[in-house]
Amino acid sequence: MRKVDLPWWRTYWRIIARVKNPKCHLYKRYGGLGIENFLTADDLKMLWFRDKAYLLDKASIDRKDSRGNYTIENCRFIEHKINAGRPHKELTHCKRNHPYSGDNLKVKSYAGTPKRTCRECE
């Protein structure tokens, strides 16, 4: 089997692109915000088996703290549907690192769902 066929190997290179390659369409949401990768392909292999990702319909790497780096302690494999739909209520700052608090916090409603926004970024 080629390395490229191993699911954790593909995940590893996707992470590298997100955090290191400004031409990657996701770079601005990861590397552009200062998110760094401290995982090796072997670390991802260990996480793959620890989290039994091979049993998931579509495994997805998740950072428990979405503002944190890719580290063994902060990462896990979960179902893609859960990861994609995971609310980011734990976020305390906007993408430009302004706090969601006090006069800077604005709550808008989109289709009945509240969403926090940053007044400073408006």
What residue spans define the domains of the chain? 3-87, 91-122
Q: What percent of the chain has pLDDT over 70?
A: 86
pLDDT (tens digit, 9 = 90+) per residue, 68-121? 999 999 999 999 888 877 665 456 677 777 777 778 777 776 666 667 778 888
pLDDT of 13 above 90: yes
Can you give the pLDDT at residue 120?
85
pLDDT (tens digit, 9 = 90+) per residue, 20-29? 999 999 888 8
Residue 50 makes CB contacts below 8 A (sequence gap 6+) with: none
> What is the average per-residue pLDDT within 59-65?
92
pTM for the full model? 0.69
Can you give the pLDDT at residue 38?
97
CB atoms within 10 A of CB 33: 14
Q: What is the mean pLDDT of the chain?
A: 85
The DSSP bridge partners found for residue 108 are 115
Can you give the pLDDT at residue 90?
53
Q: 36: which 2 tokens?
A: 């760094």
Of 10-14, 28-32, 74-78, the one with minimum mean pLDDT is 28-32
